[in-house]
Chain A
Amino acid sequence: MISIYDFIETLTTDSGFWNPLIWGVAIVIAFLIVYIIRGFGNKGYKKETEQTKVFLSGNPEYKEEKMHVKASNLYWGFTESLKWVYKVLDKMHTGNVSDYVLWFVIIMGTLFIILGVI
């Protein structure tokens, strides 16, 4: 029979442990503390004034569509420094179904050499 104690056991991996419930208790307490600290702060601001406009170093503000940074522009620094990797990967993904089958044959051949011949 399943008892309540089975639910609160710590996940053990022989190399480490993880107990979400203990962490959860800590998180709840910490959240309360932080929430109380935050409560000392000033709540208000002047709604719908110049205050709430986006800071653009004094440049004119664009329409909403143009203010949203698009998905393809994100992580520029990362893709820039790994350009060579992406070049190879793009070359690999041709979208041509005969290439797909070719890869299958290649892997089958490799597996055959590794498992069959050795």
Chain B
Amino acid sequence: MEIHEIIRIVLTIIIGTIGLAAFGIFFGLLYKGLDRKISAHMQGRIGPPIRQPFRDIGKLFTKENIVPENAVPWIFHLAPLIGLVASISILLYLPIGGFPPLASGYGDLILILYLLIIPSLALVIGGFASGSPYATVGAQREMATMIAYEFPLAIIIVTIAWKLSATTVGGTLIQNSFAISTITSTPVWSVVGPIGFIGLILLLLALIIVTPAELSKIPFDSPEAETEIGGGLLVEYSGRNLAMFYLMDSVKTIVMASIIVALFFPYNLSNLVGLDAGSYPAYTIDIIFYLIKVLIVLVLSVTIIRVAVARLKIDQIVYTYWVPLTLMALIGLICIMWDGQFGLPRIVEMLGLV
């Protein structure tokens, strides 16, 4: 590697981070507004205007930034920053529209899985650092929730990578099966047989149910649980620190939806329409298509679920994820593992049709 090569990469990363931060924050808040509007309409309310989240941030910035006397100030201040920074950094590893991931050769799906932990960890540590019983209760619930949903999430991610690693394209086994660029260039739906297809649907369902917990939304929001523990781990946060957590949540919304899109719907419109890849119209149409995909995913996995279901207790959350959902994901895994041996050709052969 030459020195100017390194400088080029570093500059790309610097400019990309600035751009992605702006993108993530703006669209995160926009989708938050859309989510509130849609769920209000579902409940027969008018709901706040779509730009309400932006106003919320503005309002929070003018409010006092109270540090409770029992808090450990430097950790209390640092936690929201770290959380937001980490969630912005995940965007670097995800494909946005027709653009490949900016840092595609420098991080993979396992890294994304781990980076996704950091915002939740920041919430937990911030909650613990507030020194309030309500926040502590909320924080330990968040940690338990995190353990709970990480089991199905790990199954989903490893299964997809495993399926790709066992797939041959052009006579050779796929390398770098954990890399996002591999996953987007070889959509998983195209490499499975009928049984594997059922397995993938199960995995997709599991991932959709994991999403609300990842974003602390009803029915998995017992860490915040406004009606029982007054906001839980956020109870002592106010002013700009709370605004940071608010922004973190909205960036994370984009991140989670992008992960689902990248894993399961990595398709682009531009080549269907017949535009040259790399031209401006192609980028425009891909980014619009991507934004629509994100909206659909978010409505399905966040809005509908949170309007339809009531909050679960924390032991019910752990049970939900560790038993029914893990079983579902495991069945998906088994389906995909058996796919090679018992795929459609093999079933046809066993039934004696050939």
Contacts and interface: CB of A to CB of B under 8 A. Distances in A.
Partners in one complex: yes
Interface of A: 5, 8, 10, 13-19, 22-23, 25-27, 29-31, 33-35, 37-38, 40-46, 48, 51-57, 64, 67-69, 74-78, 80-82
A69 B10 contact: no
A23 B278 CA distance: 26
Contacts of B18: 29, 33
A81 B86 CA distance: 31
Interface in B151-202: 161, 165, 175-179
Contact of B62 (A29, A42, A52): A42
Contacts of B350: none
Interface residues of B, number: 72
A26 to B, nearest CB: 5
Contacts of B317: 77
A54 B315 contact: no
A26 B6 contact: no
A15 B161 contact: yes
B140 to A, nearest CB: 5
A41 to B, nearest CB: 3
A85 B143 CA distance: 19
B103 A26 contact: yes
B342 interface: no
A27 to B, nearest CB: 6
Interface in B277-333: 313-315, 317-319, 322
Contacts of A55: 132, 134, 230, 235-236
A53 B69 contact: yes
A81 B319 CA distance: 6
A31 B61 contact: no
Interface in B58-79: 60-70
Contacts of B10: 25
B21 interface: yes
Contact of A38 (B21, B69, B81, B107): B81
29 contacts: A13-B178, A15-B161, A17-B105, A17-B107, A19-B105, A23-B89, A23-B111, A25-B14, A26-B16, A26-B17, A26-B89, A26-B92, A30-B89, A31-B85, A33-B17, A33-B88, A34-B244, A40-B61, A41-B65, A44-B64, A45-B65, A45-B238, A45-B239, A51-B64, A51-B66, A54-B236, A67-B133, A68-B131, A81-B322
Contacts of A75: 140, 143-144
A2 B315 CA distance: 53
Contacts of B62: 41-42
Nearest to B244: A38
Interface string B114-154: 00000000000000000111101100110110011000000
A98 B136 CA distance: 41
B131 A67 contact: yes
A52 B68 CA distance: 4
Given A29-B13, A42-B61, A54-B131, A15 B243 contact: no
B107 A18 contact: yes
B230 A15 contact: no
Interface string B226-265: 0000100001101110011001000000000000000000
Query: Residue among A37, A52, A64 with the most chain B CB within 10 A?
Result: A37
B208 interface: no
Contacts of B69: 48, 52-54
Contacts of B105: 10, 17, 19
Nearest to A22: B106
B34 to A, nearest CB: 22
B65 A77 contact: no
B95 to A, nearest CB: 16
